[in-house]
């Protein structure tokens, strides 16, 4: 199956030999190319990370050069069969690691079908339980899954400090969660997401699950090094997943946002897009560009998308997808994904904080507080 894609070649130039520079910090240059890219059916000479289009959810396939594979999340349950088909199109016959970043259905739902259909060697879990039917179905699928030799996959609760060496080319570092787990936050499952960084030589890729402010604060307090050239944006681009402080610590060159087109949460939120743009980060979005593949070739990032990039206005001004929701009675306005939204008959919509506050509304401390 062949896709017409826009191909971006991002070249990291190491300038360590120049007397004017004191460090070997990689820099990036961008070259726009057009290409017809066939779906690979055999291991590449270079590692690939494919951010799969699973609608309003997360899923990413890591294909290492030694043939091993890691699947990080799987979208909602209704994405399972399509996800299985897409993995098979990419030549996947078994999975060495399946990572469930946290227990919400938009991350683990599709893994249920994957665990039924593919041999799996290990399943990684955050260990933070969530009382939901989908989570129970996921645990049942883990128990019934099989390894390539017919045994049972190893179920691992991973935590900060664990490392995995994959062949001679890659290292996987688990940066979070730490114990004791965070509790009493706006979303405890989100704030105990598995956060991990994959390193391929001088190129680092940071996966953030759905972490929010509380988990970021803990990472800062623990002194975790978050630097990465590629960022999987937290919580589908929600305002509470990314801020300028976080971006100053990561310093990404490329960011991928996984979310569904015209989703009901308004993801990605305007605040996140503005923060990324102000930081000079190149943004890719599955809702607009479909599947995003990043191939790491030494110090080069080759980024290909299933659909051409939309116009600049659509990327920068998603007003229709960033509505704030006010309560006519309390004069409080909320983020679209707030768990304490007012009844529908009491809702009023605003396109920005400025508009809401000009009409006498104040932000809800739980979902929009700083």
Q: Where are the domains of the chain?
A: 2-165+255-316, 323-368
pLDDT at 177: 98
Report whether pLDDT(189) > 80.
yes
What is the average pLDDT across 7-27? 39
What is the average pLDDT across 69-90? 97
Q: Which helix (H) or strand (E) holds 218?
A: helix 213-221
Structure tokens that stand for 87 in this block? 């993995």
**Which are the contacts of 330, defined by CB distance < 8 A and separation ≥ 6?**
342
Q: Which helix (H) or strand (E) holds 327?
A: strand 324-327
Looking at the chain, the whole-number percentage of residues with pLDDT higher than 90 is 70
pLDDT at 28: 39
What is the average pLDDT across 156-168? 96
pTM of the model: 0.81
pLDDT at 15: 28
CA dihedral 76, 81, 87, 92 (to 10 degrees): 120
Report whether 193 contacts 126 (CB < 8 A). Answer: yes
């Amino acid at each position: 199956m062949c896709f017409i894609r826009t191909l971006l070649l991002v070249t990291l130039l190491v300038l360590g030999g120049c007397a004017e520079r004191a460090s070997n910090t990689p820099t990036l240059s961008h070259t726009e190319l057009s290409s017809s890219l066939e779906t690979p059916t055999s291991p590449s000479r270079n590692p690939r990370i494919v951010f799969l289009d699973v609608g309003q959810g997360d899923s990413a396939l890591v294909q290492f050069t030694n043939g091993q594979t890691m699947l990080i999340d799987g979208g909602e349950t209704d994405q399972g069969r399509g996800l299985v088909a897409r993995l098979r199109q990419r030549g996947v016959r078994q999975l060495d690691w399946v990572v469930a970043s946290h227990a919400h259905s938009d991350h683990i739902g599709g893994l249920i079908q994957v665990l039924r259909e593919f041999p799996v060697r290990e399943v990684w879990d955050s260990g933070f339980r969530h009382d939901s039917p989908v989570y129970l179905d996921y645990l049942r699928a883990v128990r019934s899954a099989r390894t390539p030799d017919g045994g049972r996959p190893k179920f691992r609760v991973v935590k900060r400090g664990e490392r995995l060496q994959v062949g001679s080319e890659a290292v996987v570092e688990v940066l979070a969660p730490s114990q004791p787990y965070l509790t009493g936050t706006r979303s405890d499952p989100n704030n105990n997401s598995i956060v991990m960084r994959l390193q391929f030589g001088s190129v680092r890729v940071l996966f953030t699950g759905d972490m929010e402010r509380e988990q970021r604060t803990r990472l800062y307090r623990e002194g975790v090094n978050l630097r990465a050239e590629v960022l999987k944006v937290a919580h589908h681009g929600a305002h509470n997943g990314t801020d300028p402080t976080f971006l100053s610590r990561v310093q990404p060159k490329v960011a991928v946002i996984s979310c569904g087109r015209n989703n009901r949460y308004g993801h990605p939120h305007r605040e996140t897009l503005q923060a990324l743009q102000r930081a000079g980060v190149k943004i890719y979005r599955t809702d607009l560009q479909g599947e995003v593949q990043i191939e790491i070739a030494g110090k080069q990032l080759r980024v290909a998308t299933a659909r051409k990039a939309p116009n600049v206005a659509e990327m920068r001004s998603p007003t229709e997808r960033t509505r704030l929701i006010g309560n006519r009675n309390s004069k409080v306005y909320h983020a679209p994904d707030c768990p304490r939204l007012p009844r529908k008959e009491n809702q009023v919509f605003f396109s920005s904080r400025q508009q809401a506050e000009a009409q006498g509304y104040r932000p809800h401390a739980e979902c929009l507080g700083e």
